[in-house]
Structure 1
Amino acid sequence: MIAEFLTYLTTPAPPYVKRMGYLKEAIAIDARHKRCKSAWSSHLENSKNFIIKSVERCKNFRTVVVLGSGNLLDVPLSQLSEKFEKVILVDIVHLAKTLKIIRKFPNVDTLSCDITGVAEDIFNLTKNRTQAHIELPEPAKTNLPEIQDNRTDLVISLNILSQLTVMPREYILKNDACEDGSTLKRWEYNVLRAHLDALMATKTNVCLITDFEFIERNHRTQSVNQYYTLTGIELPLPEKTWTWNIAPKGEISKDISIERKVAAYFIKCLLS
């Protein structure tokens, strides 16, 4: 706990990243991985293997952009660095231990960015509001020129689709900043849709890995809570699926475990 607290204090990040919980969550994921390393191993390997296979299907190897690079747990960084001329790792915050790993690879750069383009607006609108509720900002189609660069030969969206609205939604609800749940749901759908539209507009190869289903099980391994995580977004049949045992028994409680179903897609650019 002390190490996590010191990491929070010493990691540079804009106020909205800290106040909305993004930095805290990045630190928590790192700690959770240490506790659940065995349970997470198959998911992380499946993710890395699918990315590597996606790389093998590319024709050119100039730039690869990873959206949601996180703590690099599911990123085959050495293979990407070896294969591509340039690797760009994009996330809203990068921890010091992640930056230390990256320094080993001279062709790897990081970009700290909110790819939705809404989080800072929500933070400011909520803080400075003069009315009870805020007008939810429209998501950016893309605020990443890197994924539109004609030298980018692969864009990887890595386990972030269902997570794009989690922190903004929690901040909005905590501050009672939205008038009703249906408005918030429609807005969440628009954010996820904007991300997918941005990927499809890249005119390059796309690797998409996302969870799509949440399953809570009791001590008899029976499903007691199950729901679709993509807020109305309907995806086609995936190329590959697997289960991520994200919270084995003992992580949340001795009787409950949490799983997420994960889907993986490769969309080949006909121009590549």
Structure 2
Amino acid sequence: MVLQKLLKARRIRQLGLTSGQIGIYNRYVREHEGWGRHLSKSRQAIIGAVELFKPKSICILGSGLLLDVPMKELLSRNINITLVDLLHPAQLVNKYSSNSFVRFETHDLTGGLIHYLQTTRLKALNFFALVNLVSRAKTYASNADLVVSLNLLSQLSDIPIEFLKQKKILTDWQCVELASTIQQKHLESLPKGKSLLVSDILEEFYDERGSITATRPTVFIDLSNLTQVQEWLWDFDTTKTYNEDAITKLRVVSGLVY
């Protein structure tokens, strides 16, 4: 039992679970203007869905730091809010602890992959076992009137796949296959007719003249069934800290799941 706890603690550090949100916030501070526009559009997409569905309850998947969640507007409408993520910042939990309209739920939205990587020895990890785990996993189910997958779809596989690549457990094509399996499973878990999806789908790299030099998909599944789609560019990194050779922008879509 002690060895299992030590393994899990070490693996949590290796996976970067505790540092991920800090990194997000630091980049938000550095790139405040570009991120501000993206976060505002994300919040507006949620408000638009709320005005359409007029829900009494809403579930936010991937709530994180709440930078892209219009908490003030939702609470002003007396909407019951369920915030779901793998980790919740303590300061936010404390902030809303006395608010009966806000509830925090901790859940691994990767289909149990994060937990599996935390507790399984490296020698036991292989591509087929990982894909099978995700494919057969029981997905998170919400009975809220409106479910929002918020800037989450492309991020679900980032932490586990980065870890698996560093440990040389998966090849490049296996990483794409695993990512698409995680993403498809998540999309299928969203209740049709009462869900909003907001996600980046493509990284675009630009030179100093503003010319696009390369692209890289961040979502590997078909999103053509989304309706009332909106699209925008997110000025993700203008200081070349993400990619030292280029300025990085993310192409983002929002749409209703039917």
TM-score scaled by structure 1? 0.81
* Structure 1 residues 162-206: Cα deviation after superposition (integer angstroms, max 9, x where no partner): 11111111111112223x33333222211110000111xx35510
- Deviation of residue 81 (structure 1)? 2.3
* Aligned partners of 1:133 and 1:176 also within 8 Å: no
Question: Equivalents in 1 of 2:160, 2:254: separation in Å?
Answer: 25
Aligned to 1:79: 73
Question: Equivalents in 2 of 1:196, 1:45: separation in Å?
Answer: 23
Identity over aligned residues, as a percent? Answer: 25
Aligned to 1:166: 158
Worse-superposed segment, 65-74 or 249-258: 249-258
Q: Is 2:226 the partner of 1:234?
A: no
The alignment covers a number of residue pairs equal to 245
Unaligned residue ranges in structure 1 (runs of 5+): 1-13
- For residues 12-23 of structure 1, the aligned pairs below 5 Å read 15=9, 16-23=11-18
Q: Is 2:84 the partner of 1:90?
A: yes
* Aligned partners of 1:141 and 1:198 also within 8 Å: no
- For residues 133-212 of structure 1, the aligned pairs below 5 Å read 135-136=129-130, 137-139=132-134, 142-145=138-141, 147=142, 149=143, 152-178=144-170, 180-199=171-190, 202=191, 205-212=194-201
Secondary structure of residue in 2 paired with 1:168 = helix
Question: Equivalents in 1 of 2:18, 2:92: separation in Å?
Answer: 13
Residue number among 36, 41, 59 corresponding to 1:41 in the alignment: 36
Question: Equivalents in 1 of 2:255, 2:127: separation in Å?
Answer: 38
Q: Is 2:255 the partner of 1:260?
A: no
Paired letter, 1:241? E
Worse-superposed segment, 17-26 or 129-138: 129-138
CA RMSD of aligned residues (A): 2.5
Unaligned residue ranges in structure 2 (runs of 5+): 1-7
Distance 1:128 1:87, change over 3 A: same
Distance 1:252 1:40, change over 3 A: same
* Structure 1 residues 43-80: Cα deviation after superposition (integer angstroms, max 9, x where no partner): 1111111100100111441x211001110111001222
- For residues 5-16 of structure 1, the aligned pairs below 5 Å read 15=9, 16=11
- Deviation of residue 23 (structure 1)? 1.9
Aligned to 2:5: none
